[in-house]
Structure 1
């Protein structure tokens, strides 16, 4: 009876302590800053554990007053103790679901701020806790005292190890954010550098954190009696680790070379060395060299990685040689394209941005590859021309261009006067601020070029910047037409002069013209 009274007092005391801490009815008296829903949830589970504990103690005391065999008594105690791990399991699983929903509600940024170790703990802590609860319960049920003590001590050592590792993880994040931060001036000069750097820094950070997690896991396994150090230090373990490290280093070298080639090519093409203008040859050769480097580095890196994995690369290389030989015989046109392309690239006969005539097509060169070029016609048509189809190249914009203009005037005009007028128009055009910057030299007058059917043709020529010859020619012709109209210099159109012929002796016969008036119209006959 005394024990029953003590149990009731014990229940009342713990009830008031829980009510003081959680205070489910009054938020002002609540010692822990919790919302009403969470406080009531914890209060319900607190009462469940408290009431069953009091019930367990009272029932255990009553059973002791009854003479029951020891084996039966142990079985009864085990049955009475079994609800504890069941209640703890249900409570832990519910709490794990609540914590997970809370983190998802905060969003991805909250997850990233916590770090990978915290995310892993939040994701799997309830499963580990449930396993631990049942392990401890089984040890208690079967009175396995040594195992119980071993479990407690190893758990404490594991928790201490994790507690020491947690600030190391946090410190690594701070070091990455500090030492790999990009200066503002560098951001302004290289706008795309930060995005690429952050991508690889994040990959490196995850790799280092993964390595740290492996070390932490190995330490915890060693604490629990798993010979992780022995496994790693064995011959097989050392071989596997060495191969993994080699593969990671090779992959890193390949990625660094690819990114460096991309970075330097972009830097040279956009800014150039010392802010100098980029030549068309560089614009053509740099993308080709970058693509060749990427293919070569990737192929070599892939062969080395396959060799580290344990795949024999000799047949692959031999097969690649045979395939190359077969391609050389079977694809002679392709080989010819590539060889001609190399000559065109290194001789600098065609560059990106030139206006060329090749294979019966003319247009602006948009790209030059290893085996073909692409030119854009005046009407927007894109012509893809393999180098094997090119036998003659006409480059209209190599270093400079020429605008050749033929001006026809009537036979009755003074040719010398017309050439003086053309010279004056050419000088005015060169002094014009809009068009003069495109004219490299004074206009050349070649003189009388041709006696045409209806006109006397005078030829002039301008030396212009590349691709500006047509603009200068059109403007010059516009000004010629305007000045000729002002000076009444005739620009003839085609006409026919009838000549009846003349005999050697005498005058030409008369040309009889008969006029007839018919219905108000005059007809020639």
Structure 2
């Protein structure tokens, strides 16, 4: 310790001397001996030693002057040169590491040949005894576990899913108990039999027991998921053959890699050489990668067909196209990954391999969690959208409207989950620091903008559903007060106008949140509106006329009107046009610019005007009495509630060339005049016939006229004869 302090002190004291330009080139030997003696005295004294240590600490804490850095060369050529140099250095380091591994393998086998085989034999005997007890007890317990799991499977077969889930959990718990019990038996055997009276065991037996616990617990997870022996306990939609296949190969690979790295390799490294342990590890890793490549090639077509079936079920949408693309090239990606795993392990097994395995596990967890979320949301949305009966009675279209949003919502949820899975995979492989980016100011700003825009869109959708449901409730004739025709017209117009305004303003606000400058859009919309105003004057006229028609309340949906020469029932009113269905069922779409007059036949009240022609020789009073008696008969029918006044008998109203015209009017509710009018006309016609009151008939009189006899012309000879 004293020698080290002396060297450090000399170095510290010599630093100022090195900094001086006029320092002497050399010192005599006697001066050096004197300095050493003085330094020894300083170190032996507690106060001087403390002062020296404090001075050394101050010198060490002083930051050296940093030379000014040259300005960075940001040219493309310099950046390309830096990148290629780093790639070359990395490749050189990788090949050097691989060469060093093979060199270690050769040295390891050479060292194993020269090792203490007697000591290795003694260790092998102890480990063999513990292994026989450990694996023998585990084999017996496995037979008991398989029997118990068979009983559980028989009880939960064809039961509800939650009963099968409880059975699977119970079976896994029994399996895990057998592993722990066998591990405990092995420890007891190692302590009592191998350790003797001292109750101690060797490190090799402990390595074997710990490797057994980790490996068998890992295999337990595989058995609990795939359940190759009992179909009733298997919750995944996997066939028996596939479950047995994957369970077999995964168990073999886990056993091979686990026991090698946790037991065989440490024992060889401790008793033979590190080179031999590295050789065994390299051989096992190569074997595991070869097994993985064989498994990938065996299942290439099966996985491709499965992904193609998923794409066909999704009707080859965006996600379906992705499935088909993955199905074409998944085996190449998997083989490349396995080879990269082997190369990385050769290059840097201490750091690169754990990182790659951890990143792989995190990626698989992200994919599984994403698939579970998408499946759960899809099942919840598809099954859970069932409205109560009273709500369906009040809002019959609400459930259908909500179901219409399900495909769009599911599409958005799927892409959001896919984006999250991709971000998690990039984070796991350190390709993109998503957490660091989201924690930065820029990331928070972008994420906040996206979330704000999504919330605006969500609020707009909710507002649309609320307003549309309220309009539907107000128009529902089975609940509450029946809407008037005016309410029907205005509510439909309000829903259409509100939808257009909501889409426009929602889109503008969402674009503003994601950073789009909407001022040019507003200005462009104004210019486009002005151009449309000049170029589509008819459209502007339609809209202006429609606004005034709505303000004046001339017609509403359900009214019988005549407009632009067409008469019929108003089926639809917009701000630009009216849709009329006439008596023949023909639908007429009439723009308001073509409407110069509207005749509404059902506003307030209506009259049925009945006019009849009778012969001249008919008794007028008898005809009037027929009109009165027919009204009495009509008032005894189901139409009597539609009549709001007595018969307006106007009597003789005109005389024509061959008939007398009599008229009567029946005042009814608006639009109810045709039913009772038809009945009244039929009754009048029957009564006129019964009372021998004739209708006028057209009489045609023919008159004969004497015509002079026309003789043929005489010729000249006949004309000269007397």
Deviation of 1:87 (Å):
0.7
Secondary structure, aligned partner of 2:523: helix
Deviation of 1:94 (Å):
4.8
- TM-score normalised by length of structure 1: 0.70
**Structure 1 stretch 323-332 or stretch 398-407: which is displaced more?**
323-332
1:494 to 689, 695, 698: 698
The 5 A counterparts of 1:28-177 are 32-33=229-230, 37=241, 41=245, 78=282, 81-91=285-295, 94=298, 137-138=342-343, 140-142=345-347, 144-148=349-353
Equivalent pairs counted in the alignment come to 474
CA separation of 1:195 and 1:424: change in aligned 2, threshold 3 A: closer
| Contact 1:154–1:224 (Cα < 8 Å) also in 2 | yes
Q: Distance in 1 between matches of 2:518 and 2:302?
A: 53
Secondary structure, aligned partner of 1:418: helix
**Structure 1 stretch 468-477 or stretch 334-343: which is displaced more?**
468-477
CA separation of 1:219 and 1:261: change in aligned 2, threshold 3 A: same
Structure that is richer in helix per residue: 2
The CA deviation string for residues 421-475 of structure 1, in whole angstroms up to 9 with x for no partner, is 3212112211223x32332222111122112222222211111233443343332
The aligned residue for residue 522 of structure 1 is: none
Which structure has the bigger radius of gyration? 2
Q: Distance in 1 between matches of 2:139 and 2:302?
A: 21
CA separation of 1:463 and 1:209: change in aligned 2, threshold 3 A: same
2:546 to 341, 351, 363: 341
CA separation of 1:91 and 1:411: change in aligned 2, threshold 3 A: same
Deviation of 1:106 (Å):
11
The 5 A counterparts of 1:53-452 are 78=282, 81-91=285-295, 94=298, 137-138=342-343, 140-142=345-347, 144-148=349-353, 182-197=387-402, 200=405, 227-271=433-477, 275-433=480-638, 435-452=639-656
Secondary structure, aligned partner of 1:82: helix
**Structure 1 stretch 344-353 or stretch 42-51: which is displaced more?**
42-51
| Contact 1:341–1:370 (Cα < 8 Å) also in 2 | yes
Alignment pair present for 1:470 and 2:674: yes
| Contact 1:139–1:145 (Cα < 8 Å) also in 2 | no
CA separation of 1:439 and 1:256: change in aligned 2, threshold 3 A: same
**Structure 1 stretch 219-228 or stretch 233-242: which is displaced more?**
219-228
CA separation of 1:275 and 1:330: change in aligned 2, threshold 3 A: same
CA separation of 1:104 and 1:196: change in aligned 2, threshold 3 A: farther
Deviation of 1:191 (Å):
3.7
Which ranges of structure 1 fall in alignment gaps of 5 or more residues? 23-27, 65-69, 110-118, 501-510, 514-525
Deviation of 1:279 (Å):
1.0
Which ranges of structure 2 fall in alignment gaps of 5 or more residues? 1-116, 144-149, 151-226, 232-238, 269-273, 314-322, 707-722
**Structure 1 stretch 80-89 or stretch 179-188: which is displaced more?**
179-188
Q: Distance in 1 between matches of 2:308 and 2:633?
A: 75
Deviation of 1:337 (Å):
1.6
Deviation of 1:383 (Å):
2.5
Q: Distance in 2 between matches of 1:287 and 1:48?
A: 69
**Structure 1 stretch 312-321 or stretch 224-233: which is displaced more?**
224-233
1:459 to 642, 648, 663: 663
Q: Distance in 1 between matches of 2:523 and 2:664?
A: 64
CA separation of 1:214 and 1:407: change in aligned 2, threshold 3 A: closer
Q: Distance in 1 between matches of 2:365 and 2:589?
A: 69
Q: Distance in 1 between matches of 2:331 and 2:705?
A: 123
The aligned residue for residue 222 of structure 2 is: none
| Contact 2:476–2:482 (Cα < 8 Å) also in 1 | no
Q: Distance in 1 between matches of 2:591 and 2:608?
A: 30
| Contact 1:20–1:31 (Cα < 8 Å) also in 2 | no
The CA deviation string for residues 95-120 of structure 1, in whole angstroms up to 9 with x for no partner, is 697689789999999xxxxxxxxx9x
Q: What root-mean-square deviation, in Å, do the aligned CA atoms of Structure 1 and Structure 2 show?
A: 5.6
| Contact 2:568–2:580 (Cα < 8 Å) also in 1 | yes
Secondary structure, aligned partner of 2:567: strand
CA separation of 1:376 and 1:14: change in aligned 2, threshold 3 A: same
**Structure 1 stretch 356-365 or stretch 177-186: which is displaced more?**
177-186
The CA deviation string for residues 30-50 of structure 1, in whole angstroms up to 9 with x for no partner, is 993378745874698599979
The CA deviation string for residues 163-193 of structure 1, in whole angstroms up to 9 with x for no partner, is 9999999999999899987434324543433
The CA deviation string for residues 196-234 of structure 1, in whole angstroms up to 9 with x for no partner, is 335657866886787788778767866766643321121
Deviation of 1:248 (Å):
0.2
